[in-house]
Every structure is written in C-alpha cells, then in structure tokens.
Structure 1
Amino acid sequence: MRRSLTLFLSLAVAGGLAATVPATASAQERQDIPQSHPFWANPQAKVADTAPASKLNFRVYLNQRDPAGAEAAARAVSDPDSPSYRKFLSPEQVRDRFAATQSTVDSVKSWLTGSGFGIGEVPSNRAYVEAVGTADQVQKAFSVKLGKYAVKGRTLRAADKDLSVPASLAKDVLGVIGVDQATNLLKPDHTDGADTAPTQSAKPGDVPPAKGFRNSGPCSTYYGEKVDTTDPAYNGKQLPYAPCGYTPAQLRSAYGVDQAARFGADGKGTTIAIVDAFASPTIYADASEYARRNDPEHPLKASQFSQKIFPPTPGQEAPDKCDAAGWYGEETLDVEAAHGLAPGANILYVGGADCQDLSLDQALNYVVADHRADIISNSYGDTGEDLPPTEIKAFNQIAVHAVLQGIGVYFSSGDNGDEVARVGTPTPDFAASSPWVTAVGGTSIGIGKDGKRLFETGWETGKSALTDGTYTPGFPGAYTSGSGGGTSRQFEQPFYQKGSVPDALATKNQTGGKKGRVVPDISAIGDPNTGFLVGQTQTFPEGAHYDQYRIGGTSLASPVFAGIMAVADSFDHFHHGFINPVLYKLTARTPAINDVQHVDGAVARVDYANSVDASGGLLRSARTFDYPNLTIHTTKGYDDVTGLGSPNGLLFLMFV
C-alpha cells in the first residue's frame, strides 16, 4: 500500500521575495509572484467574498543561496569519482553556506509583522517563514482580493490575481502557500495493490481504527507449500496458493541480510525516519505485539522507537476527510517492515499534520534540517508530475540538503504502473522522480521453505476472477496494480544514469533529442500477492482489536530497502547517504545487484467477500506476475519497472 496524492488541479505558486521594506510599499515598488493565482479562481466561478475577519495560516518559502553551488556540492559528496566523496556537511555547514540568510528571514518577518501577521515556525534551515493573520491583512499585504470559488463541486478560497510583494523582497521568495486553498484539491487515494479494505467514515477529530481486513485461506507459509488442485487449471497450470504473508525472518533470509547479523550488523547505530500523515494511536503496541508473535528474538524496544506528530493545521481537511485511518495502516506497515529488516536500528516516526504536500514537506524538512535520521523512508507521492513549480522547487531544496548531509532519502515509486489508466499518458510519480532521491520499485518474490529466493520478477499484477468454473478475463487477466515507473518529463537525465540507463528509455516522453530521469532506481518486494504479514489494530464486527493480514505495495518496498541500507550502514561502519551514484557507477557492475527479469507465473487467491469472514461468501481468482501490457516492462539489465534490480545479500552490503 502506497499513499498517493492525486492532483485534481494545480496549485501553481512560484516566484521570489528578499530585504527589509515598509509594509506600505507603493504599487510601483511591488512585484508579482508568478503563477500564484489558481486558474480556477475566475469571475465566473466566484460565489462570495472571503470574510475579512477569517483566520489564515500560510508559509512564505525562501530561496536558498547559490542553488547551483548546492547541487554541485551534493553531487560531489555522493559521487564515488569525486575527491569530496562522503565528505558530508553538518546541518550548520549547510545552513551557513546555502540556506537563506538570517538577514533575509528577519526582513521577511519584519514585513509580515509590519503587515499585522503573527509569526509561526521558522525551521532551523530557514526554509520558510510561517505566518497567521486575517483575510483582510492578507488582502492588504499581498494586494489582492480574496473570494470563494466553486471548483470541482467544492467552494475554496483564492485570490483574484497573482499575489504581489514589495519588490525588494521578490528575489528571495520561492513562493507563498496557504493563502489559497488549492492544496485541498490534493486528495489521498487508495491503491488496489494494498488489498486492504476501505476505511469507515468518522466524525472530525474522532477517527477510529480502519475497518477490519483478514486474508482467507488456503494460503502458504512459504512459496509453493500448497497448490490449488480443486479449481480449474489457469493457463494450463495448477497454481500455488498465495503466501499468507512473509515474516521478517523470511525477508531477511531472502535478501541475505541475516548473514550480516553473524558479523553483528543489524542496523544498530542508524536511525530510520518514516514520514507519513497523522499517527496511529496504537502503533507501538501493534508493532511490539507483531514482533512478539512473528520475530520474538527481535523485539521493538521502547528505546528504539520515537515519534514527532505535528498538530492539525487550522482550516485544513478534517482527519476523516483525509482518511487518517488509512494512513494508520501505512505507518504500521512502514514501521514493522523497517524494524523487521533492521531490528537493531532506531525508528523515528514523523507524522504530518494532514495529507497535503505542504504538511508532508514540513515533516520531511523536520528530519533533514537537524539531521534527525540517517535514512528516510517515504511511502506516499503525487499521481504523475503535474505539480506546481513551487512545490517541486521547495521539495528539491529539502532533498539536496539531505544529500549534502549524508542522509539517504527513499521514495516508493508508486502502485499504479505507468499511470496511463489514471493520467492518460505514461508518467512516473513525484517525488520518486526527483533526481535527488532513491526511487524504490516493487517486485513479486517467491521465498522457499529454506528461506532462499526462488525467483523475483517485476510487480505488475493481472487478475482473472474464477466464476462458475471460468477465469474471466483469461490469461494474463486484467491489470490491477503494480510498480510505478517511467521517464520523467519534469527532470532531465541525472549524471549518475548516463551510460547506465538505455537511451530507448531515457528518450521516452522527450522532445528534441533530450533525455529524462527514469524511475525506479532499485527494487524490493512489493506485490501483495507475495506480500508481507503485518499486524494492526482494526475495527471488526466484534470490536476493535489487533489482527494480522498480508499486504504489499511499493510502500512495502521502500521501508524494506531502507532496512537493508541500515544493515549496510552497520556492516560497513559508515552512513551511505545518497546511494544512486554508487548504485549506477559501481554496484550495478557487480553481482551485488540481482538483475530482476520477467518470469511467467501466477498464484491462486481466495478472499472473503466481506473482507473479514466466510459469511458473505468467498471470491476466487488467479493473480499473474509481471503483467505485460503496459508501457513499462521488466527486462534484462536496467528497466523501468525494477530499475537496476534488487539487493543480493552480503555482496550488496559489501559493494554498495
């Protein structure tokens, strides 16, 4: 399960701000912030004025100094061919060399306070200045008129034109987010890949655990243990039943990290941060119970787990509207998977105030600004890359700062394949497509009785339902979900992919002979049909209690790979930071990466029709591996489903 923020309309804010100015600067001394007026806020859609006394919270994002220099330094510390390789900077050094100056922050604060606003958070890396005030103060400060506009069945606040700021501030402001409510058009979206049940509705501020979900039997404790001999053959074969859900020990064995434990390497000394929205009220109890039942030799100690939860943002969606209970399952999966692969690592969970990009960026920046973790796993993203320039620029500043400090940032590549079904054209998802993060794709994996990897192929699922003795549709079924990938239209080919990614992939979606960034970089278990056993408190007909079920998605792949990298940290006795240059330039040229290729195969699935028991009947289906009819494909060598491949045991830990 990977949380996807579907962008219905663009938030379009970009531009600049800088120095001390009076709040009453004349029109001749002002400068517009380009693209800060949503296109849907037009006179025909206006339904009312915004009440002058209504309260607004917003952020003024600041440009960093010398962005080209920051990116050059980020390349230098992560490129094994550079003399500055792994000579990471401290948060203080990053701030002093590249962040907005304190003078700039003071100038922006002075202008805001002079305009009547209260000042909120200014993070230590000076990424933005938060402010709060009335609509009337916003109108005067930014020289606009705020109104309410009908858009997509909703009524949202926006300005009647581009925001403007004093001209002397314009060069230092990246953009202003929160004056309009365009972020409310970013909605979380479930994916079929997770195989979880839909959440139940709740009152604002009262979000119970998600509606319960259980897997029906028969299922196998390891791949191929049980074979379906009662249903008709599928594509000429009797299918093995899907695994019940692999345990941490099985994944540690399949990816070879259990061998590192013999050398005392289990992730100890590394902190993995997990960023999601909201926070499960039962997370530590659930994760502890999960370890007790399934991995008793590796309990999750209270000293290993900590949380930072941001309070709700006034004026944003109520938690039930944002599917907070669904994010509880996301957090649970991420924590249990990361701890399962790296049982010695510390886990820091950071929960955003809501499911908007703005709040998730705040949570990510919280970790990066003061280097609170060495690895960050993120199981969310936007559908495609159609995002406003301000959001992309603000995110990339955070990502570059992480690279400079030696923090590895991992993003799930997505659970909807090439996104053609939802977007209309092939596209990877942001933020996995950012060149400064490691995009983790998903695989289907068979783990045998001895814990060894029997096979691993690209995760793209086809489904054929069995009804009255007939599979419909026939082989390879109808596409349901799979590993995200493809070639970016937003980012050009990064230096580390040159010479490693085939031109046939790099030139997709491009014009004029250009080459783009291709996703993903690496991959790990993602297919829910060969998925991970997770334990979570859910709401069942008999009440709310802990139970277990199988789950998958690239939001499994990301924390699994983050856990493997934490083990690599302790095995190699250093923090690896941004690993893409090493993966492409060195590791991929050795057997340290398993070249994931196409494998024909399928599993039999039996599911409860009502998601919890057999009283509503059973649903039977065949689920195929590596569905072939997308624009992205699993092939020999680098491909746009699994990237370079998957980690190959001790060799990977030694060569990464």
Structure 2
Amino acid sequence: MHYYHGISVLSVLATGLLGGLAKPLSPPWDDIHIKHSWNTVPRNWESLGHPPSGTTIDLYIALKPQRENALVDALYEVSEPGHPRYHAYLTKEQVAELVAPRPETLELVNSWLEHHGISSSSISMMHGSNTLMLKGVSVTQANTLLRASYQLYRHVERDETIVRTVGYSLPVELHWHVLTVAPTTSFVSPRTQWQTPRNRSDRAVKATPGEPATTLLSRAKVNNVTPSFLRWLYETETYTPNTRGENVLGIVGLLGDYPIPADLTAFMQKYRSEADDATFTVVEVNGGGSHPNKEANMDIQYAEAIAYPTPHIFYSASQSDTDTDFAIWLEYILDQENIPQTISISYSHEEHSISREYATHVCEQFAGLAVRGVSVLVSSGNDGIGRGTCLRDDGTIRFGPTFPGTCPYVTVVGATTDYEPEVGADLSGGGFSDYFERPWYQEEAVSTFLQHLGNQYQGLYNAPGRGIPDIAAQAIGLPIFFNGNEQKESGTSLATPVVAGIISLLNDWLISTGQRPLGFLNPWLYGRGFRGLNDITVGSNPGCNMDGFSAILGWDPVTGLGTPNFHKMLVILR
C-alpha cells in the first residue's frame, strides 16, 4: 500500500526555493477580479442554500509554471518519430523542473494565504509539482479567500449533492500566477457523470440474401464477445509476454472504486482457463477505495484477459471531491519513480461541466505523465455526440465531448460492435473539444473528415478543436463477473482496457528487444501506426436527439483511426 504525502510550504521556504527572499511581498489584496464564473446555476442543479455551519473543504490551488510551454515542447520531442530525442523520456526530477512555478509565485501565494489567516499547518505543496493543497478550510473562510458564495447544490435528476460556488475571484496580482482553484465552479455529478456502462440486449444474427454460411457463423461470434473472440479479432492470441516484471499495466479506479479478486478468478476460469491464476496489486491513493463495483471489475477483467501474465496494478483512489479526483491521482502517480508503461482510465465527464482553466491544468498533468514514457488510454464516453438534448444554460444546443479525452496528450478509445464488417457502436463518444485546439498530429486526418462533413451540424461543435476518439474496440455485450454473477455490459469502459492490453503487449515486445516503450501514442498512430489498424467505415454515434457523426474511410469522430491489429502494429514497429 502506498500513500501520498505533501510537503509543507514552510519547508519549501526553508530550503531556499524562494530565492532567498526575506519576507513576503504585500500587494493590495483587495484589488479583486473574477477568475471564473457561470452566468446561472448550471442546468439540472438547484441550490439548497448555505451548507451546515462548520462545513470544511480541501482547496486545491494549481500554480502556473515558470516555463509555460516547456513541458509540452519536451513531450512532442520525445514522442515524434524521427526527432533526435524520440523516446528519450524524462525522469521525475526533470518533469518537476519543467513545471516548477516561479519563486515569486510561491512567495505571493504564501503572503496572500497568510493575509487571510490560513494556517501554515494546513498548507502542503505537492512534491515536485506546482500545486498547493489547503486541508480543512471552512466554507466561511473559503468564501472570504475567493470572494465566493459556496452553497449546497443538488442534482435534480439524481438526488446527489455537492458543495460548489457559481463563481470565484482572485486578487489581480495572482491572476498571472494561479491557474485554477478547485473545488469551485465545476458541477460534476459524483457518479453518473463519470463513465457508466449501458446494458444492451444481444443483437440478432440474421442472414442477408446470398450471404455465405461461413460469414454468418463468423458474425454469430459477436453475440458472444468473449476474451477468446477479442484475442482472435485483434490478433493477440499467439503472443506470449516475455518481460514479466519489467512491463506493467496500470488501471485507474476513481471515486473509491476497486475490483473484486474472486470475480476476476471466476472470469478467467471461464474465459481464459490457462490464466486462472491472474492477480493484481492494489495501490491505495489518498486513502484508497471502499466501493467494489462493476466499473472496476470490467476494467481489470478485460485488461487481464488481453495482457496476462503481464503484472497489473489497480490504483484505487478514495472518493474525494469529483472536482479534484483526476488531479489528486495524477499528483500521486507523477511523484512515483517507477510508473507502468501503459495506463487505462475508464472515467470521464462532460467537458463543459468543468472550467477551461481546471481542464488545462489536468491536461498538463497528463502531459507530465506522457513525457515520462507512459501510454495513457482513456474512454470517449457512452453518449455519442452528447448527453440528452445537449441544451446548454444559455439556451443553445452544443455537442458534448468528454474530458479528459479532449486533452491532446492522451489516446482516446471509442466503441465498435459486430463483425464483417466491424462497425462503430452507436454509444461511442466522439466529437471536438471546445477547450483544446486540434493538435498538429491530427491536422491532416481530421481536416479530411471535416471536408467530407461539409456544413452538416455547423455551429453545433468546434471544428478547430481536438477530435476524439483516436482508436476504438469492441464494446457491446461483453460478459463480466460481479459479486459472483455473470452479466453482459456495454460501453467504452470495456473497449479502453482491451486497447490498453494490446498496447501493453506491444510495449512488452519493445522492452524484450531492448527498446524503449511506445510512450505517448498519438504522433506515432497518426503518422505510421494507423497502418496497423482496421479502418471502420460503417456506423454512427447519435446523441443530442440527432443522428450523430458517421464512420468513414480514414479518421472519424466515431471510431477514430480504427481498431487495433496487434500483428500489423508489431510489423510496423520491427
């Protein structure tokens, strides 16, 4: 078991990281400007008034780095095939140096907190990072510190409550030093805004006129999408991992989620009997989890089904505030000397439910992970082009892509179903980010799709934004075990660990031949790796009461570049 520990801001001062400044600066702290706010209470939320007296929150403060673009520049250098520094991954210490805040930033923030009576004993700095954590701040004190009005909000459809404010402000002097503060204005539901599976009935297999009997038999396999079918479909069944302890696959469980070991054993005994000794290591983050559930089970069961006997680590993070769950886990993993070469994350929420500043900070944390040589796979969501009607608070309709998939520094996994042909599943999340510009590695592929799309849906999405997904895999009607019972589930929570397992096998081969792991996949995928994928040209992802995008030749916002073919990808790497 591992636990996260911060270091006191006072210890930072003592070690001279503030450049030897003798006393805090004292700017006019009453010159306040809004940092972020909503015009109204976000849709489907209602205020229950002020929280009970004595309510406390933990405030997470992200500071701007001294070298603003250095981390991303380094990431692209080590991730672009052909670059002189390709696969020259950075160490933990090198990343920490790139994201370190200016000395005057720490000094100013410390002075501001001291001005408002925040006890130094409640302040910690994340080791080797650019973030501060303020533990146990009273809501009254937070309101004064941030010129906010924290209230208790309830989601009208799900009867879930969170403590939030519709706006907060900072002294003008700090706007150039503080990127974001959380929890503040992000209205993310504690559970169902995250990646949740859909139950789908099996599709009937019907012959079409003139269809060969062999094709019908192949298509019948889709009603039984087992690990054996997936390993056959994506051509991993003949590969056996060689490195064992050197190559590791990590699976992230947020919200206190963790898998049930007995269910993994039952699953493997039935669907991969030679691997019935499959196991995993649990690493607790921020106190660990206490919520056994389907999400964690499907993640570990399908990662193991593909990548066994590769060692698996399940990171079980406590059910802290949903506004900081990603950030807290990322702080933990970035502080580790050794990180799994491949990581699977099946949690996501609507991009527009969080602030641009907070999304930017978390995205940069993912860049810090990628520059260390980690392939991060995240789910694209299960709501097609958007959840419900996609009606925004201002009365407009806007498609709703999911975060962290919209971050350009992760690889996003969509959903497929059927076989001969394999088609884009209607639940496959896809679209274009409102927060992040289209990265250079996507320019050609995404531009081609947009030319094909023409004026359809014009104004309902951000055409210059980062497009998702990048890749896809089977996600409809896959069996899992939960609490000893077998059931079928659907969703990109299943596709994501499948793809992660395949990437982990590729990393195993690279390491076994004395090479560096793949690291950040996207520059390679869009440059050469797409030739090792099965292009999906049928299917769509309806949502927002519309038909959604369509899968076409090449990249599309339903299945990305396609589904993996392990052996073709291996040939490209040789």
Could you list the per-position Cα deviations for residues 86-143 of structure 1 after superposition, in whole angstroms to 9, with x for gaps in the alignment? 111011111022233677557645654662334255333324211123334334444x
Residue 331 of structure 1, CA deviation: 0.5
- Equivalent of 2:228 in 249, 267, 281: 249
Q: 1:195 to 1:145 in 2, by over 3 A?
A: closer
Partner secondary structure for residue 402 of structure 2: coil
CA–CA distance in 1 between the matches of 2:244 and 2:570? Answer: 12
Residue 564 of structure 1, CA deviation: 0.2
Residue 194 of structure 1, CA deviation: 2.4
Kept in 2, the 8 Å contact 1:336–1:534? The answer is yes
CA–CA distance in 1 between the matches of 2:161 and 2:228? Answer: 51
Q: 1:189 to 1:403 in 2, by over 3 A?
A: closer
Indicate the residue corresponding to 2:83 in structure 1.
82
Residue 336 of structure 1, CA deviation: 0.6
Residue 184 of structure 1, CA deviation: 6.0
Indicate the residue corresponding to 2:14 in structure 1.
none
Q: 1:577 to 1:422 in 2, by over 3 A?
A: farther
Indicate the residue corresponding to 1:489 in structure 2.
434
Residue 183 of structure 1, CA deviation: 4.2
Residue 238 of structure 1, CA deviation: 13
Indicate the residue corresponding to 2:125 in structure 1.
122
Instruction: Identify the range of structure 1 (483-492 vs 70-79) with the bigger mean alpha-carbon deviation.
Output: 483-492
Partner secondary structure for residue 350 of structure 1: strand
Indicate the residue corresponding to 2:322 in structure 1.
356
Indicate the residue corresponding to 2:424 in structure 1.
458
Q: 1:513 to 1:654 in 2, by over 3 A?
A: same
Indicate the residue corresponding to 2:303 in structure 1.
338
Partner secondary structure for residue 576 of structure 1: coil
Residue 49 of structure 1, CA deviation: 5.7
Q: 1:23 to 1:148 in 2, by over 3 A?
A: farther
**RMSD of equivalent CA atoms:** 4.0
Indicate the residue corresponding to 1:443 in structure 2.
416
CA–CA distance in 1 between the matches of 2:373 and 2:30? Answer: 40
Q: 1:240 to 1:296 in 2, by over 3 A?
A: closer
How does the TM-score come out when normalised to structure 1?
0.69
Q: How does 1:15-94 map to 2 (within 5 A)?
A: 28-32=28-32, 34-40=34-40, 53-94=54-95
Partner secondary structure for residue 442 of structure 1: strand
AA matched with 2:501: G
- Equivalent of 1:569 in 504, 507, 528: 507
Q: 1:283 to 1:186 in 2, by over 3 A?
A: closer
Indicate the residue corresponding to 1:367 in structure 2.
333
Q: How does 1:301-340 map to 2 (within 5 A)?
A: 301-302=278-279, 304-311=280-287, 328-340=293-305
Could you list the per-position Cα deviations for residues 493-551 of structure 1 after superposition, in whole angstroms to 9, with x for gaps in the alignment? 211112223444278757999733221111111123xxx221111xxxxxxxx011222
Residue 185 of structure 1, CA deviation: 5.1
Indicate the residue corresponding to 1:207 in structure 2.
none
CA–CA distance in 1 between the matches of 2:166 and 2:558? Answer: 43
Q: How does 1:484-563 map to 2 (within 5 A)?
A: 484-505=429-450, 515-528=464-477, 532-537=478-483, 546-563=484-501
Kept in 1, the 8 Å contact 2:415–2:472? The answer is yes
Q: 1:485 to 1:403 in 2, by over 3 A?
A: same
Partner secondary structure for residue 66 of structure 1: coil
AA matched with 1:72: D
Residue 488 of structure 1, CA deviation: 2.6
Indicate the residue corresponding to 2:522 in structure 1.
580
Q: 1:377 to 1:365 in 2, by over 3 A?
A: farther
CA–CA distance in 1 between the matches of 2:309 and 2:57? Answer: 44
Indicate the residue corresponding to 2:534 in structure 1.
594
1:425 aligns with 2:367: no
Residue 48 of structure 1, CA deviation: 5.9
Partner secondary structure for residue 257 of structure 1: coil
- Number of aligned pairs? 521
Q: 1:47 to 1:241 in 2, by over 3 A?
A: closer
**Higher strand proportion:** 1
Kept in 1, the 8 Å contact 2:430–2:541? The answer is no
AA matched with 1:491: F
Residue 561 of structure 1, CA deviation: 0.4
Could you list the per-position Cα deviations for residues 552-593 of structure 1 after superposition, in whole angstroms to 9, with x for gaps in the alignment? 2111111100000000001122311111110111122x3x21
Kept in 2, the 8 Å contact 1:523–1:643? The answer is yes
Kept in 1, the 8 Å contact 2:33–2:172? The answer is no
Indicate the residue corresponding to 2:374 in structure 1.
407
CA–CA distance in 2 between the matches of 1:651 and 1:266? Answer: 21
Partner secondary structure for residue 348 of structure 2: strand
Residue 335 of structure 1, CA deviation: 0.4
Kept in 2, the 8 Å contact 1:23–1:141? The answer is no
AA matched with 1:70: L
1:174 aligns with 2:147: no
Q: 1:148 to 1:645 in 2, by over 3 A?
A: closer
- Equivalent of 1:137 in 141, 161, 164: 141
Q: 1:46 to 1:97 in 2, by over 3 A?
A: closer
Q: How does 1:93-108 map to 2 (within 5 A)?
A: 93-100=94-101, 104-105=105-106, 108=109
Kept in 2, the 8 Å contact 1:40–1:151? The answer is no
Partner secondary structure for residue 168 of structure 2: coil
Q: 1:417 to 1:183 in 2, by over 3 A?
A: closer
Residue 425 of structure 1, CA deviation: 3.2
AA matched with 1:459: A
- Equivalent of 2:169 in 163, 167, 186: 163
Kept in 1, the 8 Å contact 2:385–2:542? The answer is no
Instruction: Identify the range of structure 1 (153-162 vs 112-121) with the bigger mean alpha-carbon deviation.
Output: 153-162
1:298 aligns with 2:275: yes
Kept in 2, the 8 Å contact 1:156–1:182? The answer is no
Q: 1:276 to 1:120 in 2, by over 3 A?
A: farther
How does the TM-score come out when normalised to structure 2?
0.78
AA matched with 1:194: R
Indicate the residue corresponding to 1:391 in structure 2.
358
Partner secondary structure for residue 300 of structure 2: helix
CA–CA distance in 1 between the matches of 2:85 and 2:359? Answer: 27
Residue 165 of structure 1, CA deviation: 4.3
Partner secondary structure for residue 176 of structure 1: strand
Higher relative contact order (CA 8 A, sep 6+): 1
Could you list the per-position Cα deviations for residues 19-67 of structure 1 after superposition, in whole angstroms to 9, with x for gaps in the alignment? 98989957x344536334554479xx98866666443321112222322
Q: 1:352 to 1:651 in 2, by over 3 A?
A: same
Partner secondary structure for residue 35 of structure 2: coil
Partner secondary structure for residue 253 of structure 2: strand
CA–CA distance in 1 between the matches of 2:459 and 2:253? Answer: 32
Indicate the residue corresponding to 1:645 in structure 2.
562
CA–CA distance in 1 between the matches of 2:218 and 2:231? Answer: 26
Q: 1:67 to 1:511 in 2, by over 3 A?
A: farther
CA–CA distance in 2 between the matches of 1:639 and 1:630? Answer: 14
CA–CA distance in 2 between the matches of 1:282 and 1:521? Answer: 27
AA matched with 2:377: Y
Indicate the residue corresponding to 1:631 in structure 2.
548
Q: Which runs of 5+ in 2 are unaligned?
A: 1-17, 208-215, 391-396
Residue 152 of structure 1, CA deviation: 6.1
CA–CA distance in 2 between the matches of 1:362 and 1:159? Answer: 20
Partner secondary structure for residue 371 of structure 2: helix
Instruction: Identify the range of structure 1 (493-502 vs 381-390) with the bigger mean alpha-carbon deviation.
Output: 381-390
**Identity, % of aligned positions:** 21
Q: 1:156 to 1:560 in 2, by over 3 A?
A: closer
Q: How does 1:602-613 map to 2 (within 5 A)?
A: none
